[in-house]
Amino acid sequence: MIKKGLVILGLALTMALAACGGGPAGGPAGGPSAAPETEADASSSEETADGPQLADQLSVYNWADYIDEQILVDYEEEFGVEIIYDTYASNEDLLAKLQAGAEGYDVIFPSDYMVAVMIDLGLLSEIDLAQLSNADNMDPQFMNAPFDPNNQHCMPYQWGTTGIGYRAGNEFFEENPPTSWAYVFEPELLEQYAGDGINVLNDPRELAAAAAIYLGLDPNTTNPDELDQILNLILTAKPYWKTFNSEDFGSSLLVPDEVVLSHAWSGPVAQAYYDTYDEELEDGNWYYSIPEEGAVKWLDNICITSSTERYETAVHFMNYLLRPEVGAAITNFVYYGSPNKAAEAFILPEILEDPSIYPPAETQENLVWLTEVGDEGVRLYDELWTAVKAGG
């Protein structure tokens, strides 16, 4: 899954980001206008004339609504490679597809903990950073991550947080802004607005992590007793939830006001803010909160499947996504943070200055990573998710 004008609440931090001033200028999806022009050379840094022989097609499997598809068109036009594009809703969906023997996917975008799982299962190709002329564009803090030492398999794509999106102008939230995960899990709060709709992410690790953080537990726990506590909390709250949606909740639920609160990735809430922005009011309909108990911070990655038969083309496409202008175009479309340091020259200032996209240091101190939980842990979370979907 933070736009200017959102509200980020956490660690005793309450900021009405609408006070940052101004609104969208009619850019894509109701968002900002095009990035400011610079004199930087926008030409390709790839050696296309003497580079690898590219395949006629490349299959890209990504999260829904996670790239401006004009970027794919531009690649096709520049290099003559047809992009076959498909989307998934969760890391677990991606893993299940690959484990089921799905062939033909070349480039995928798993999150941090799932990268580690896929490395262990032999599902990812190794990459050679020497083949990536744009690797030096990346912010060092996102390189050499514990789940992929020395970036042997993947490169960073986008990063963000998981918190709460809520409807601005809702009478209850005006007096009681959702600063806690209690607003997702506690019946005495949920009953105040459940009739207007509540969504949670259709993602087992994310939902379990939110519950764990609220209970003061490790969001990566594999302790069966603690997982039972997490399950019980979820099942208690589930009757108040309207939907489980992580694929298109921003456009299908937030923007049309099908819900008033959502367990949410920051990006879709940002997009919903701009899609509903009123020039006269100088505000949008959706705010974003990082709960005071803490929240998940995640890093999605560009990886190449081990089954690919188009490895050189996949590496070439990966390098293309690491161009500064392309990295900025992704961030300007999805409203997540970019791990591409060189891209900052092309990212809209209101995004770079938005603390719900780039949280301040005191907020980041209270953010946690999801990590690999091992085979037994995967089994336990699968059992928990089955019980969540069946119960309540």
User: Which residues on adjacent β-strands are paired with residue 303?
Assistant: 108, 154
- Residues 121 and 249 reside in one and the same domain: no
- Residues 302 and 380 reside in one and the same domain: no
Instruction: Report how far residue 14's alpha carbon sits from residue 355's, in angstroms, rounded to the nearest whole number.
Output: 11
Smallest CA-to-CA distance from 159 within 138, 180, 178, 179 is with 138
pTM: 0.80
Sequence-ordered list of residues with C-beta below 8 angstroms from that of 389, at least 6 positions apart, any chain:
244
Residue 153 lies inside a defined structural domain of this protein: yes
User: Domain range spanning residue 146?
Assistant: 57-159+298-358
Residue 241 lies inside a defined structural domain of this protein: yes
- Residues 347 and 260 reside in one and the same domain: no
- Residues 274 and 130 reside in one and the same domain: no
Residue 27 lies inside a defined structural domain of this protein: no
Per-residue pLDDT of the chain (392 residues; tens, 9 = 90+): 322 233 444 333 333 333 232 222 223 333 443 444 433 333 334 444 457 899 999 999 999 989 999 999 999 999 999 999 999 989 999 999 999 988 899 999 999 999 999 999 999 999 999 999 999 999 999 999 989 999 999 999 999 999 999 999 999 999 999 999 999 999 999 999 999 999 999 999 999 999 999 999 999 999 999 999 999 999 999 999 999 999 999 999 999 999 999 999 998 998 899 899 999 999 999 999 999 999 999 999 999 999 999 999 999 999 999 999 999 999 999 999 999 999 999 999 989 988 888 999 899 899 999 999 999 999 999 999 999 999 75
Instruction: Report how far residue 201's alpha carbon sits from residue 216's, in angstroms, rounded to the nearest whole number.
Output: 20
Residue 178 lies inside a defined structural domain of this protein: yes
CATH number at residue 155: 3.40.190.10
- Residues 318 and 375 reside in one and the same domain: no
